[in-house]
Structure 1
Amino acid sequence: MTEKTALVTGAARGIGLATTQLFLKEGRRVAMIDRDAEALHQSAEGLEGALPVACDVSDPDQVAAMTRQVAGEFGRIDALVNNAGVADFRPLEETDFATWRQVMATNLDGVFLMSQAAIPHLKTVRGAIVNVASISGLRASTLRVAYGTSKAAVIHLTRQQAAELGDHGVRANCVAPGPVDTKLALAVHTPQIRAAYHDAIPLNRYGQEAEIAEVIVFLCSDRASYVTGQTIASDGGFDATGVGLPALRALSPNRNG
């Protein structure tokens, strides 16, 4: 049997690295893509079956060259995980156009460019695309005008991909993580912010990178063979609660934590 492969962007750390490790555990070869070459090669060290390739997903020429390299090394691309992303949190009126474009270039243009490059290979093997958006693409929040809008666009782009690629047997789905215990979150979320998130999330905690990876890898697998065009909010129930009403929920006799 020919060994299946996956291409994961933003693979040097966080959800991308956790997804890479889970793919490898399940027997896939993985092309690890990240623009931080030093961190990428450090993360790939010792991972058998991993191919680290430095690439800026917002650069069409780099994406084309990287895709040729991966296809040449692996002979096929069975799954594409568009995980690379950048964040910027500031008020709407303070978001200058350069910042807006920087966020869109990676978060939206990168997903478009990577998908366009991989589609011919995915059609050959009836493969899968998983785009990583965010809960911020499903519900508006302060300080996230560029970030949230980019992720909302990724969710719609996923639906477009599912609608157009279904005839070729290619599935496209989206994962929208809620708050996740990444190094970035630990650095920028104060104890007050973490407590507020805990109050608003039914599971009363942040997610783990490995938990998000489990959903991504499932959607890329044959176990999800009839799932396409969907957005899975892997968020501990954050989106399901709407405004949440933490003060009201705190009155519940069954409330823990």
Structure 2
Amino acid sequence: MTRFQGKTVIVTGAASGIGKATAERFLAEGANLVAVDIERDALHTAFADGDRVLCHVADVGDDAACKNIAEAAGARFGGIDVLVNNAGVAPEGSITKTSPADFERVLRVNVLGVYALSRHAMPYLATARGSIVNTGSVSGLGGDWEKAAYNASKGAVTNLTRAMALDHGKQGVRVNAVAPTFTRTGMTEDYMDEKTVASFVERIPLGRIGEPEDLAAAIAFLASDDAGFISGVTLPVDGGLSASNGQPA
């Protein structure tokens, strides 16, 4: 498919996992790619600068860095058509086990990063009548044990997605999010033991955990003209997990 031929897409957290699969998907569909990550070596291992690729090392939790990302995309490719706010961190711990500094860091990356880059990209997106897709989580739709800061941040992303969809719809900018469940990424590699995976598989109706490509496909759909009348939606990409009310079989 060439749904994004000639369009410019920014993907944050592009060096690995969902971000890398998503960036590869947009490239395969013809897009110009601005691949953003804080990890320089991993980013340049995943992607090489070229005619259609600009690698940009940045911390999305920094407002000035987000301004630079948007300006670099505009200068290199002439505009921005799609923004995928995917970068995030996911520490463990209840509020009594999470330091104020760690809690603030999660909100800075997971929430401020979405706000700041969306804010600086908005003039370009409005010109293009473009699209934003945020990576939320099922943890933003319901709570987890020992994930207080992460739950708070993803809950904020869920409602920020709705707010931006309302505020910028008249400019032609659609804003949606995906909500993955347990997915095979670098962030979850410490939990890929047989027992943990089996516990998730038991609860997921489709009988497997998520793969980065599952999310990439959903993100590409929401960003495309195929979803041209969809905005303000957080789409669970969870194998049917959220269809349950939580009671045991």
Both proteins in one fold, TM over 0.5: yes
2 CA distance for matches of 1:95 and 1:9?
25
Instruction: Name 1:113's counterpart in structure 2.
Output: 116
- AA in 2 matched with 1:107: N
Query: Is the contact between residue 137 and residue 152 of structure 1 (CA under 8 Å) also seen in structure 2?
Result: yes
Query: Is the contact between residue 162 and residue 228 of structure 1 (CA under 8 Å) also seen in structure 2?
Result: yes
- Which structure is larger by alpha-carbon Rg, 1 or 2? 1
Partner SS for 2:96: helix
Matched-pair identity in %: 38
Please give the TM-score of this superposition, normalised by the length of structure 2.
0.95
CA positional deviation for 1:48: 6.1
- AA in 1 matched with 2:214: E
CA positional deviation for 1:92: 2.6
CA positional deviation for 1:46: 7.8
Cα deviations across residues 134-172 of structure 1 (Å, max 9, x unaligned)? 111111110110001100100000000000101011000
Matched, 1:42 2:45: yes
CA positional deviation for 1:41: 0.9
Cα deviations across residues 201-255 of structure 1 (Å, max 9, x unaligned)? 111110110110000011110010000000100001111112151xx2xxxxxxx
Query: Is the contact between residue 200 and residue 244 of structure 1 (CA under 8 Å) also seen in structure 2?
Result: no
Instruction: Name 2:184's counterpart in structure 1.
Output: 181
Please give the TM-score of this superposition, normalised by the length of structure 1.
0.92
Distance 1:2 1:236, change over 3 A: closer
- AA in 2 matched with 1:80: L
Instruction: Name 2:11's counterpart in structure 1.
Output: 8
CA positional deviation for 1:47: 7.2
Instruction: Name 2:152's counterpart in structure 1.
Output: 149
Distance 1:223 1:242, change over 3 A: same
CA root-mean-square deviation: 1.5
Aligned structure 1 segments of 4 or more residues deviating by more than 3 angstroms:
none
Unaligned stretches of 5+ residues in structure 1: 249-257
Matched, 1:60 2:63: yes
In the TM superposition, 1:1-257 aligns within 5 A as: 3-45=6-48, 49-245=52-248, 248=249
Query: Is the contact between residue 175 and residue 232 of structure 1 (CA under 8 Å) also seen in structure 2?
Result: yes
Query: Is the contact between residue 5 and residue 30 of structure 2 (CA under 8 Å) also seen in structure 1?
Result: no
Partner SS for 2:25: helix
CA positional deviation for 1:49: 1.8
1 CA distance for matches of 2:30 and 2:45?
21
Query: Is the contact between residue 139 and residue 239 of structure 1 (CA under 8 Å) also seen in structure 2?
Result: no
Query: Is the contact between residue 57 and residue 63 of structure 1 (CA under 8 Å) also seen in structure 2?
Result: yes
Distance 1:46 1:78, change over 3 A: closer
2 CA distance for matches of 1:58 and 1:128?
21
1 CA distance for matches of 2:58 and 2:148?
26
Distance 1:242 1:177, change over 3 A: same
Query: Is the contact between residue 6 and residue 79 of structure 1 (CA under 8 Å) also seen in structure 2?
Result: yes
Partner SS for 1:91: coil
2 CA distance for matches of 1:42 and 1:158?
31
1 CA distance for matches of 2:128 and 2:95?
43
2 CA distance for matches of 1:188 and 1:165?
38
